[in-house]
Amino acid sequence: MQTNSLRLAGSSDPAKNGVSFIGSKKIFWKVVDELTLAREIRGYESVAQYYPVPKLYGHLYLGDGQYALCFEYEESVGEEKGLLVDLFATQESLDNDFATIIQMYRDAFLKTLTKQDSTSSDIFFSDRVRERIPAYYSADFLNTAQGFVFKEHPIHIQPSGIVDDIKQYFSNRPNSWSVVSQCDPNDLNIGTLPVLFDYTAGGYVPLMAEFATLFWYQLAQGSYLAPIYNKEAFKDHQRIYATMDKVSLVQNHLTHIPSDLRIQFLKEYMTQVIQPCLAKIPDDYNWYEEFKNHLAMKILGVFNVSKMEKKDMLLSLGYLHLFYTAKIANIEDLFEIID
């Protein structure tokens, strides 16, 4: 196989993916270990029943416990084109491409919504509680109080209390209202056709895990934190840097001006996808308890907040405090915070 500089959709490591031909078929391939191979195939088979995905041709054993997982080459995706990130970089308002993506999720969620034990997304949540939280955050960081003003709210947060609550939640996580998805709905995993990439966590996943992931990505990660702290993933989609959020720390006042287009998209997603799902669930479902704990892990468990520039650290901790301590009864209450 011959590699090139193209990023395999769903993977951020250019050293372990590429584009090749097998006979006359042009393929994307990525190198994975045996455990990831099994997870991705299982996730793909589940996701492919309800979402448009590239064809999975199979896998090749490379030796030393490594496999090349081979997918149909998606011609619509390339440099500065074909992914949701490219829409946010070029569009000024929601259009049919955004609507098609939202409709894709609405259809799949409403078809698959059920209450069951969902473990395929544990690699992004429960596993990271055990592995990343103690690796990322020292006792000094967790026990140091941070005081500042954010969104006109005085913030006083000592992360250790919230982290203790997160650990308790995921150690006793109940069966959840769940949907079939890949639980990583970021701008680089969603093609504009539409088409989905990256299935490692695919299968039945908690509805609130999926919601929290997309929510945080659109609020602060995709338009600010990810382009700063995961630059390599955006090497073929550089135009997003021209639309980055504005974040400033002046004296003790933190300001975040999110992308208006992303907020529009997020509200539409909440209105068209999440609210109809909640309408089918009994009223005694405490959706916000699930949401805030999954959101907290997206804030703390993707990038190491303690190693960020101070304004970015406070941005993450500010939102962590606001959402974890908020009294939320319905989706409209979330609108007030993000507005």
- Written as one string, the DSSP assignment of 9-52 is TT---GGGEEEEEETTEEEEEEEEEHHHHHHHHHHHHHHTTTS-
Query: Region 300-320: what's the mean pLDDT?
Result: 98
Give residue 8's pLDDT: 36
- Would you say residue 156 lies in a domain? yes
Same domain (yes/no): 209, 290: yes
- Would you say residue 141 lies in a domain? yes
User: Containing domain of residue 54, as a range?
Assistant: 14-72
Same domain (yes/no): 185, 53: no
The structural domain count of the chain equals 2
- pLDDT above 80 for 1: no
- DSSP 3-state assignment of 92? coil
Give the pair of three-digit tokens for residue 290: 């699930």
Domain of 38, CATH number, reads: 3.30.200.20
Q: What is the pLDDT of residues 262-275, one digit of tens each?
A: 999 999 999 999 99
Query: Region 80-91: what's the mean pLDDT?
Result: 97
- Would you say residue 58 lies in a domain? yes
Half-sphere exposure of 90 toward its Cβ, with a 13 Å CA cutoff? 14
Note the pTM of the prediction, 2 decimals: 0.94
- Would you say residue 36 lies in a domain? yes
Same domain (yes/no): 203, 177: yes
Q: Give the C-alpha separation, 152 to 253, whole Å.
A: 8
Same domain (yes/no): 334, 216: yes
Cβ-contact 144, 9 below 8 angstroms: no
Same domain (yes/no): 170, 58: no
- Would you say residue 194 lies in a domain? yes
Q: Give the C-alpha separation, 2 to 245, whole Å.
A: 38
Same domain (yes/no): 143, 275: yes
Same domain (yes/no): 24, 155: no
Query: Region 314-320: what's the mean pLDDT?
Result: 98
- Would you say residue 7 lies in a domain? no
Same domain (yes/no): 146, 51: no
